[in-house]
Structures are given as C-alpha cells and as structure tokens.
Structure 1
Amino acid sequence: MRAIIMAGGKGERLRPYTTVIPKPLMPIGNVAILEVVIIRLKNAGFEKITIAVGYLGNLIEAYVGDGSRFGVQIDFVYENKPLSTIGPLAYISNLNETFLVTNGDVLTDISYEELLSFHKKVGANATIATYKRNVKIDFGVLTYNDEFCIDGFIEKPEYNYNVSMGVYIFEPSILDYIEKGKPYGVDSLVLDMVEKKDKIFSYLFEGYWLDIGRPDDYEIAINKFLSEAQSFI
C-alpha cells in the first residue's frame, strides 16, 4: 500500500513557533513529529510515501529528503494554494489501489494494519479513524427558549464527541469527488458520500491519539513521547 502524509498547513494555532518551522517539523524529544509518522508507516510495511506540502514545504523536503535514511521511498507534491485536507490528492498520480492518508502532525499508536483490516472487512470506500474526545467547557452555560427567557444553567459541562483522528483509508473511487485545483476537505467528502449513499465507515480507536495543533497538546505530546517513545517507534 501507499501512504500519503498531509503536511501543507500553516499551523496557525502554534504560532509563533510555526512562523519559521512548519508544524510537521516541530520536535517532540529529539525527533520531529513528522519523523515519528514516517517511521510508524515504515514499520507497518509502507514502502512508498508521498508528502503533500505547501507552507514552508521546502524545509520539509530538505529535512526528509528522498526517504532513504528511513528505509522508504518518499516523493512530494506541492500545493500552489491551500487545497484543504484532501484536495491535494487530485495531484498525486497512480492512486490505483487502496491507500492510507494521515496528517503529518498526529501522535498515535494506532495499528495501521488493524485499520486496514477493518476497512476491507466492512467493504468501505472510505474509513475514518475516530477517537472519543472529552471537551470541558470552563464556563457556566445558559439555555433559553425562543424568546430568550433563560430556562436552564449548566455549570462547566463536559461533552463527549467522536472526532476524526486525521487518519484515513481510501479506495481510488473517492478521487471522483475531488476536483483538481479546488479546495476539498474530509468534511465535504463525508457529506457528499452520505448524500450518494456511498460506503463510508468510522473505525473507533481506543488507544493513544493527540493532535499537536494547540500549545497545550504540543506540550503533552512531548512529555508522552519522552516517557513512552517505544510505544510509538
């Protein structure tokens, strides 16, 4: 199988760090988060990886090179303008078989093999790895009726959601939804596939996952990796 790493975002929530360093190259311990993703893919048997880059993409290409030091073959596709989360797939050639797509800034111990096995078992055209995320609101939340008359008050509520992990398994058929040169995100893909009753499934993962997009999560990721590096690479 072939893997695609999405690494074109500006990482605006991590500024000022990402003013000079693209988010996938942010270090956790003595390695970049992107390096962890590449090593995990290599360990799962992926031999060819394409990295979609945009913002500061030249730095990512200079750091990663052709992949030989990781034992994989790596090439790059550049976005001339932001194309959202999966828009760049339209510019990647030879996606003729089942392929994996992952963001380049997630720390997780998910088994790509088990994800693929689930995808094949259910006969999906798209499988989205999902994770239960608890969101705590640090304020009192008011509820009210249509006339703005308050009818309830919830002190610092907590909500649970199944969120996308930024890890996907796709069949080539999903490329039919993507128009070259136009921004297209996973959110649009989900809605379009649901409308057309195409086969799209959720794979609920219960291991470890963290998106390093926020400063607090970035710090957590560093501490987690330093204490349990063996779990990831």
Structure 2
Amino acid sequence: MCLNALILAAGQGRRLWPYTSECPKCLLTLGTHSILEHQLVRLSAAGIDQVTVVAGFGLDAMRHEVGRLHLDGMSVQVVYNPFFAVADNLISLWAARAEMGDDFLVLNGDNVFHPDIPHFLLGPAPPPVASSCNARTATVLTT
C-alpha cells in the first residue's frame, strides 16, 4: 500500500490575487483550517504516514504551518523549489526526486477533495468495466 504523498505547493497563485499576494494558495483557509491542513488530515486518515510538501513562494509561512500542525503518526517535511518563480510542477517534482523511491500519491497544493478520495485511491482496484452500445438495437452491453 502507498504510504507516501507529495504535495506540489511551490507556486504563487497569481490568479487568486490579492488573496495570495503574501500567502501560498495551500495556506488559504476554508472554514477554520488551511487547505494544506485539510489535505494532511485526510491523508493521515487514509494511512499516509510520510508527506513531502514542495514549497517555493511563502517558504517560511509553509514551514510555520507544517510546524504548527501535529498529526499523530505522520511525518511532514518541506522541500524547497528554488525555481518556483520561473518553472512549473516538473521542477517541483525534480526538487523532491529523493522522496520518490517508493509508490506515492501526488497532489496539487490547492486541491480540495472529499475525505474518501485517498481511501479510494489506496484501496483495491475496482474490476475493469467496458461498455458497448449498439445504436441499431438500442442495447448496452457492460462487462
């Protein structure tokens, strides 16, 4: 089972200015918690015990938020992407390449998801489904 996650959160989020002028997108709050906290709580509940957050813009704020959060059994580290202002997620993946030795989940730092999603992704693969529709007879075959 995959027990590692990588959160790509280095960008500045300019499309959300002025909200992100001094705060990374993943540190914006939904209710009373940051997006990052929502993500980490849901990943922890699914059994993820090692998370790497790739940060760039707002690095100190990101480190502060990670240090503030205490999730039992979960280790969270922050890796710096020094090229965040001129590069995209590929370079963030490169910055965290040392953490990608085993299976892992990749999330964008601004993704908000239902609490069941990590459980679903880590669970057994559903059986394959194939559907075929015959327009002449109006029948659908699903296997």
Q: Same fold (TM over 0.5)?
A: yes
Report the equivalent of 1:204. Answer: none
Give per-residue Cα distances to partners, 1:103-154, cap 9 Å, x unaligned.
Answer: 11111115223223466978xxxxxxxxxxxxxxxxxxxxxxxxxxxxxxxx
What code does the residue aligned with 1:115 have? L
Out of 85, 99, 102, which is 2:89 matched to?
A: 85
TM-score normalised to structure 1 length: 0.48
Out of 22, 25, 38, which is 1:23 matched to?
A: 25
What code does the residue aligned with 2:66 have? V
Instruction: Report which structure shows greater RCO (CA 8 Å, sep ≥6).
Output: 2
Report the equivalent of 2:47. Answer: 45
What code does the residue aligned with 2:63 have? E
Q: Distance in 2 between matches of 1:5 and 1:121?
A: 28
Q: Secondary structure at the match of 2:100?
A: coil
Q: Distance in 2 between matches of 1:86 and 1:16?
A: 26
Following superposition, the deviation at residue 13 of structure 1 comes to 0.9
Report the equivalent of 2:67. Answer: 65
Following superposition, the deviation at residue 3 of structure 1 comes to 0.4
Which sits farther off after the overlay, 21-30 or 103-112? 103-112
Query: What fraction of aligned residue pairs are identical, expressed as a percent?
Result: 30
Out of 99, 103, 112, which is 1:98 matched to?
A: 103
Aligned CA-pair RMSD: 2.2
Report the equivalent of 2:141. Answer: none
Q: Secondary structure at the match of 1:10?
A: coil
What code does the residue aligned with 1:89 have? L
Number of paired residues?
121
Which sits farther off after the overlay, 9-18 or 103-112? 103-112
Give per-residue Cα distances to partners, 1:61-120, cap 9 Å, x unaligned.
Answer: 1111185x1221111110111241232222321422211010111111152232234669
Q: Distance in 2 between matches of 1:94 and 1:21?
A: 25
- Structure 1, unpaired ranges of 5+: 123-233
Q: Secondary structure at the match of 1:108?
A: coil
Q: Distance in 1 between matches of 2:45 and 2:37?
A: 12
What code does the residue aligned with 2:38 have? V
What code does the residue aligned with 1:7 have? A
Q: Which runs of 4+ in 1 moved over 3 A?
A: 116-122
Q: Secondary structure at the match of 1:6?
A: strand
